[in-house]
Chain A
Amino acid sequence: MGVSCSFSVSSPPFQFSFGFADRHHAALVCHRWHFLACHPRLWLRVDRSVKDLSEPGVYPDIETAVCAARPGDTVLIAAGGIHQTSNIQIKKPLCLIGAGELPDDTTLICSRDSESALEFMSTCKLANLTVRAELGCCLLHRSGRLTIDGCILQCESNPLDHLSHAIVTTATTPDGIPPLQKNCVSVMRTRIEGGATAVLTRGTLSLKQVRVICTRTSLFFWFNVDHH
């Protein structure tokens, strides 16, 4: 079977396949594939000013964008204002990024009646975002590799803030030798403020490799929550 055709593997039509495949892995093949797989034009955007779904790829809220996203997608959350975020379950690999210059520019608020803002059941990454919990926790980790990079996690001060935790993980060590999926939380360059603890481990993972940098106004944390 053969064809003489001007198209080659590196041509634009092949960008369609990356929505389905392991996108970040495909991005390692060459510069061209990296461009096709990871270019920001493929990102989903959350913009609270949008009223409907008439513009492709732009969604009025995070929950709608997460539902529409395919495994491996990146969701860019617009800066400015407050994004009400309540018990959003993320069951597919996604990357959520704040669109502002600083994490302070993009704020997700989890109201008092919610357990968490975001609940992770797959490998995900959060970057450049502020997540604030009025009660409960900012991030609930059930399974997968969760990476939190350059974020701000805040538990509001109130009479019940001893019940709040920035991160709660219920993940356990998976079965299998070697395990097919690793459950862990990696925190990098993240401010954690308020609450009873920075991370509460309800499963079998444990806190490791903690580093803290103190500035005049904030504490920046690096740590992992991993298997024994």
Chain B
Amino acid sequence: MATSSSNTNKADHSKNPPLTLRSSDGKELKIFRIVAQQSSTIMNLLDLEEESNTDVIPVSEVDGSTLEKLIELMNNHTEKSFNYLGVKERKKFYNDFFANWKILDVLNFGLVANYLGVQVIFDEACQKMADMIKSKSVEWVRKVFEIKNDFTPEEEEDLKKENKWAYERGDLDDGDDAI
């Protein structure tokens, strides 16, 4: 069960039993209401669940593994110690969390955070993706994200000339390690 281990939350447990979320693959995960409040989608789904008198909130767009990771991160955010982290410590926390993740995994995680309306985690996932594509070529980005180049050769040449002033990068690393 993904729960918060904070002593502060123990007093809430008896009065606020954990909610149950069911993922797309049928996995059921517990989350305390105080943690779930970070997600606007879960709170909206909770209103619907209370109307229909069922105990389980279906989150049918998200698989169990991703949901579990997201709940773990949301639990961290409700820890008092997390809120006192400085900018550098917070950056280190997220670097450690996303360490060795492939970019498509970060992308999926960001999509899930966006779907569930957890803005802070969504922003951090976007930041991580931006950091990962910073050193990559345009062709690499198109390949990884399966984006079709819809510029004509003339448009592309004009854009490169127009933005030439901005380029100060050395060789770009197009390794496949982040895919």
Give me the interface of A with B, judged by CB distance under 8 Å.
Answer: 1-5, 7, 9-10, 13-14, 16-18, 20-31, 33-34, 72, 93, 95, 123-125, 144-145, 147, 178, 180-182, 186
Q: A13's contact among B114, B134, B150, B166, by CB below 8 Å, is which? A: B114
- Complex CA–CA separation, A98 to B138 (angstroms): 30
- Complex CA–CA separation, A24 to B133 (angstroms): 13
Residue with the greatest number of chain A CB neighbours at <10 A, chosen from B66, B110, B160: B110
Q: Indicate whether B84 reaches chain A with its CB closer than 8 angstroms.
A: no
Write out, one digit per residue, whether chain B residues 24-64 have a CB within 8 A of any chain A CB (1) or not (0). 10000000000000000000000000000000000001110
Q: A178's contact among B24, B148, B164, B170, by CB below 8 Å, is which? A: B170
Q: Indicate whether B115 reaches chain A with its CB closer than 8 angstroms.
A: yes
Q: Indicate whether B126 reaches chain A with its CB closer than 8 angstroms.
A: yes
Write out, one digit per residue, whether chain B residues 97-117 have a CB within 8 A of any chain A CB (1) or not (0). 000000001011111101100
Question: For residue B170, which residue of chain A has the nearest CB?
Answer: A180
Interface residues of B, dominant DSSP: helix
The reply to whether A3 and B62 contact each other, CB–CB distance below 8 Å, is yes
Q: A30's contact among B108, B127, B142, B169, by CB below 8 Å, is which? A: B142
Q: A29's contact among B131, B142, B164, by CB below 8 Å, is which? A: B142
Using A24-B163, A125-B165, A145-B165 as known contacts, say yes or no to A1 and B115 having CB atoms under 8 A apart: no
The reply to whether B147 and A24 contact each other, CB–CB distance below 8 Å, is no
8 closest Cβ contacts across the A-B interface? A147-B165, A21-B130, A24-B166, A17-B130, A17-B126, A24-B163, A20-B130, A125-B165
Q: Indicate whether B5 reaches chain A with its CB closer than 8 angstroms.
A: no
- Complex CA–CA separation, A10 to B147 (angstroms): 9
Chain A residues with CB under 8 Å of B163's CB are 24-25, 27-28
CB distance from B64 to the nearest CB of A (A): 10
For this complex, into which size category does the number of interface residues on chain B fall? 35 or more
- Complex CA–CA separation, A145 to B164 (angstroms): 10
- Complex CA–CA separation, A125 to B159 (angstroms): 15
Which B residues between 140 and 156 are near A, CB-CB below 8 angstroms? 141-142, 145-151, 156
Chain A residues with CB under 8 Å of B169's CB are 22, 25
Q: A123's contact among B108, B114, B168, by CB below 8 Å, is which? A: B168
Question: For residue A178, which residue of chain B has the nearest CB?
Answer: B170
CB distance from A219 to the nearest CB of B (A): 23
Chain B residues with CB under 8 Å of A33's CB are 147
Using A9-B145, A22-B134 as known contacts, say yes or no to A17 and B122 having CB atoms under 8 A apart: no
Chain A residues with CB under 8 Å of B167's CB are 24-25, 123, 145
The reply to whether B148 and A30 contact each other, CB–CB distance below 8 Å, is yes
Q: Can you list 19 contacts pairing A with B, beta carbon distance less than 8 Å?
A: A2-B63, A3-B63, A3-B66, A3-B112, A3-B115, A5-B61, A5-B111, A9-B145, A13-B114, A14-B126, A18-B130, A21-B131, A24-B167, A28-B138, A29-B142, A30-B151, A95-B165, A123-B167, A123-B168
Given A3-B62, A22-B169, A178-B170, 10 extra CB contacts under 8 A: A1-B109, A2-B63, A9-B107, A9-B147, A17-B126, A28-B151, A29-B141, A30-B147, A93-B168, A123-B166
Residue with the greatest number of chain B CB neighbours at <10 A, chosen from A1, A5, A34, A125: A1
Chain A residues with CB under 8 Å of B115's CB are 3, 5, 7
- Complex CA–CA separation, A178 to B114 (angstroms): 42
Chain A residues with CB under 8 Å of B65's CB are 1
Chain A residues with CB under 8 Å of B129's CB are 17
The reply to whether B133 and A13 contact each other, CB–CB distance below 8 Å, is no
Chain B residues with CB under 8 Å of A180's CB are 170
The reply to whether B142 and A13 contact each other, CB–CB distance below 8 Å, is no
